[in-house]
């Protein structure tokens, strides 16, 4: 019986062209080899199973090949390539930093670097999981990594780049490996299945690709696991049973029931899912992913975001045609809230069932809102529109007759009294209009002149500005500040205003703090108050701090006390009379 070799090892890429999903990196490495622009150290970082160590080995094999092809690929015929393929090459050294992470291991590596290669130009040192090195080991490795011998090239590989110290990163060319797309994984699995004589459904391989989460090695391991169960024929049913994946048919069935508002069928479907051993949290998470796929299927430009087979895409297109955008947004909101609160729920099953019931009610709620909007948009017929407009002949005839107040049927219905008809004592004529206008003009000419800005409001008239009038106005302005607080009231009591000319007022303040408070909060208010009070074309308010205020900064209590004694001598006498102390 032949020894079984897992697919991840058996189908490991042996050249750059066989590497899956990392075209930008492989092209860069091939170009560097072709132009002989090789760096002294490289750092390959990315998720697990995306080809970091594989690319490092291919790169090490290719740069020592003595007969490179036109596409910068190794020939697999020279002595260096043959020794590499048979695992007996002395030019390529691999070190697992997860188990050799001490300073002694790095010192041994530094001594080994000095030995030149026996075959080929370069000695390549591949250090896997380099982030596992200790801080002391990193420091011991710095000098060798920065200035290695001309024949030494280091290739570091890691899944956690953030754990590597910056001094190491600065000495390397960094290549970030991407997760492999599901389509690329499916194509590779189909190639492996064909070589192994295995028939596999495309949908089954898609499930394997989704479960692998972008790692080719994981996908090949899952593929071997399914083959062990199913043999030479891999079906979609076998994959979902073996991987404990919920069939997407349940999601389609739940959404169809929610669109129809059939709560019973949706709850029975959820009960069937629970009876098969699936967790409610996984179900609601999968349902949210299904709603997301329906949403991206709404637009042709986002349809490419749907990673599934062609047959399943048709199913999504059919169902998304039945769903409105409002339904999908609301259902996603309900499902996301259920997902977030699931762990904190004491009755998880009821929590999911309530979310499903709310999703079933979305369609009816949207219809109710739409009908309400339509009813609100109907034009309300005005009762006055029923009253026919009089013709031109009727208007002329009414003008020639005595004027009566016409009260319509609408007015009489709306009021609480019977209609009243008022008859003028005399007829209407042009002569009366002319005489009334003359009387009105005479009255208006005798009325006092009121400015347009004061029209319609009851305000006092402005007076001429003078020093005496300003003193009264200043007292009135201070009275308006009675509610500003004790500190502001005492501040304005200490302020001394001075009228210099008809348009300049100087405000004398005691200190800088008072000046800042006045300028920021009250200067504009005073200016507006005076402009409304007096007849002024403009006014200038200047703030002056009295020169008696000291400019010296007082630090100690004794300095502050001496300053107060000099400014207010009565305090010194009070201290002596009452025998006061500084506290």
What per-residue string of b and e applies to 210-247 under the rule 16 or more CB within 10 Å gives b?
A: bbbebbbbbbbbbbbebbeebeeebebebbbebeebbb
* Token code pair at residue 571: 């305090």
> What number of CA atoms fall less than 13 Å from residue 257's CA on the CB side?
18
Q: Quote the Cα angle for 381-386-387, to 5°.
A: 140
Q: Residue 400, exposed/middle/buried by CB under 10 A (0-12, 13-18, 19+)?
A: exposed
> For position 115, what pLDDT does the model report?
87
Inter-residue contact 155 to 121 (CB < 8 Å): no
Inter-residue contact 89 to 83 (CB < 8 Å): yes
What percentage of the chain's residues is helix, strand, coil (to nearest 5)? Answer: 55, 10, 35
- Whole-angstrom Cα distance, residue 167 to residue 146? 10
> What number of CA atoms fall less than 13 Å from residue 359's CA on the CB side?
32
User: What domains lie within the chain, and their CATH numbers?
Assistant: 7-176 (3.40.50.300), 182-242 (1.10.8.60), 248-373 (1.20.272.10), 393-446 (no CATH), 467-545 (3.30.300.180)
* Sequence-separated (6 or more) residues with CB below 8 Å from residue 286: 246, 251
- Whole-angstrom Cα distance, residue 245 to residue 95? 38
- Whole-angstrom Cα distance, residue 518 to residue 497? 13
What per-residue string of b and e applies to 78-91 under the rule 16 or more CB within 10 Å gives b?
A: bebbebbeeeebeb
- Whole-angstrom Cα distance, residue 227 to residue 195? 14
- pLDDT digits (tens), the chain, 583 positions: 457 888 998 899 988 989 998 999 999 999 999 888 999 999 999 999 999 999 999 999 999 888 887 788 888 888 888 888 888 888 889 999 988 889 999 999 998 998 888 777 899 999 999 999 999 999 999 989 989 998 999 999 999 999 999 999 999 999 999 999 999 999 999 999 999 999 999 999 999 998 998 899 999 999 999 998 888 899 998 899 888 888 889 999 999 999 999 999 999 999 999 998 899 999 999 999 999 999 999 888 888 888 888 888 889 999 999 998 899 999 999 999 999 999 999 999 999 999 999 999 998 887 666 666 666 665 555 544 445 555 545 555 554 455 444 444 444 444 444 444 444 444 444 445 444 444 444 544 444 443 333 433 334 567 787 888 888 888 888 888 877 777 788 788 888 888 876 678 888 887 777 788 888 888 888 888 888 888 777 778 888 887 554 455 555 667 677 777 777 877 877 877 877 776 6
Q: Quote the Cα angle for 142-146-151, to 5°.
A: 120
Which runs of E-coded beta strand occur in 226-288? Answer: 233-234
CA-nearest of 497, 498, 478, 476 to 489 is: 478
pTM: 0.59
> For position 465, what pLDDT does the model report?
79
Q: Token match 């949908």: residue?
A: 203
Element (H or E) spanning 507, and its range? Answer: strand 504-509
Task: For 110-159, give the DSSP string.
Answer: HHHHTSPPSSSS-EEEEEESGGGS-HHHHHHHHHHHHS--TTEEEEEEES
Strands 496-501 and 504-509: antiparallel
* Sequence-separated (6 or more) residues with CB below 8 Å from residue 546: 508, 509, 510
């Amino acid at each position: 019986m032949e020894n079984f070799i897992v697919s991840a090892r058996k189908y490991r890429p042996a050249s750059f062209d066989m590497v899956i999903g990392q075209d930008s990196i492989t092209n860069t490495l091939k170009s560097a080899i072709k132009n002989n622009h090789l760096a002294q150290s490289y750092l390959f970082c990315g998720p697990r199973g995306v080809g970091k160590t594989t690319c490092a080995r291919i790169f090490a094999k290719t740069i020592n090949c003595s007969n490179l092809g036109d596409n910068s690929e190794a020939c697999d015929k020279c002595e260096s390539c043959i020794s590499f393929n048979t695992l007996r090459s002395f030019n390529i050294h691999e070190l697992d930093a997860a188990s050799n992470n001490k300073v002694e291991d790095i010192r041994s590596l530094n001594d080994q670097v000095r030995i030149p290669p026996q075959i080929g130009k370069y000695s390549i040192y591949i250090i896997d999981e380099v982030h596992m090195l200790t801080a002391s080991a990193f420091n011991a490795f710095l000098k060798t990594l920065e200035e290695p011998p001309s024949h030494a090239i280091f290739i570091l590989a890691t899944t956690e780049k953030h754990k590597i110290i910056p001094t190491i990163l600065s000495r390397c060319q960094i290549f970030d490996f991407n997760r492999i797309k599901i389509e690329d994984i499916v194509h590779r699995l189909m190639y492996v299945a064909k070589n192994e004589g295995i028939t596999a459904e495309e949908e089954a391989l898609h499930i394997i690709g989704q479960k692998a989460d972008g790692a080719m090695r994981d996908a090949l391991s899952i593929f071997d696991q399914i083959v062990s169960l199913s043999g030479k024929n891999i079906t979609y049913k076998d994959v979902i049973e073996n991987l404990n994946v919920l069939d997407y048919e349940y999601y389609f069935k739940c959404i169809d029931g929610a669109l129809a508002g059939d709560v019973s069928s949706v709850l029975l479907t959820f009960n069937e899912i629970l009876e098969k051993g699936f967790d409610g949290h996984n179900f609601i998470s999968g349902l949210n992913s299904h709603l997301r796929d329906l949403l991206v299927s709404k637009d042709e430009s986002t349809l490419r975001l749907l990673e599934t087979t062609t047959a399943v895409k048709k199913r999504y297109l059919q169902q998304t045609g039945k769903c409105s955008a409002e339904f999908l947004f609301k259902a996603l909101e309900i499902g996301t809230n259920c997902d977030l609160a699931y762990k904190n729920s004491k009755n998880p099953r009821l929590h999911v069932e309530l979310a499903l019931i709310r999703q079933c009610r979305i369609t009816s709620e949207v219809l109710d809102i739409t009908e309400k909007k339509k009813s609100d948009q109907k034009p309300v017929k005005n009762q006055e529109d029923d009253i026919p407009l009089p013709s031109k002949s009727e208007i002329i005839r009414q003008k020639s007759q005595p004027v009566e107040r016409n009260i319509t049927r609408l007015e009489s219905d709306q009021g609480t009294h019977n209609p009243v008809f008022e008859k003028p004592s005399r007829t209407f004529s042009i002569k009366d209009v002319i005489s009334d206008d003359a009387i009105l003009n005479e009255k208006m000419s005798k009325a006092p002149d009121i400015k347009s800005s004061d029209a319609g409001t009851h305000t006092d008239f402005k007076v001429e500005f003078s020093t005496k009038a300003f003193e009264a106005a200043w007292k009135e302005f201070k009275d308006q500040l009675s509610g500003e607080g004790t500190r502001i009231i005492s501040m304005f009591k200490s302020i001394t205003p001075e009228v210099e000319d008809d348009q300049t007022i100087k405000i004398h303040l005691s200190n800088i703090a008072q000046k800042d408070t006045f300028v920021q909060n009250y200067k504009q208010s005073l200016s507006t108050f005076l402009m409304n009070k007096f007849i002024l074309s403009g006014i200038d308010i200047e703030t002056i701090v009295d020169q008696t205020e000291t400019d010296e900064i007082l630090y100690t209590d004794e300095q502050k006390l001496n300053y107060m004694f000099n400014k207010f001598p009565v305090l010194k006498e009070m201290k002596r009379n009452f025998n006061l102390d500084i506290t």
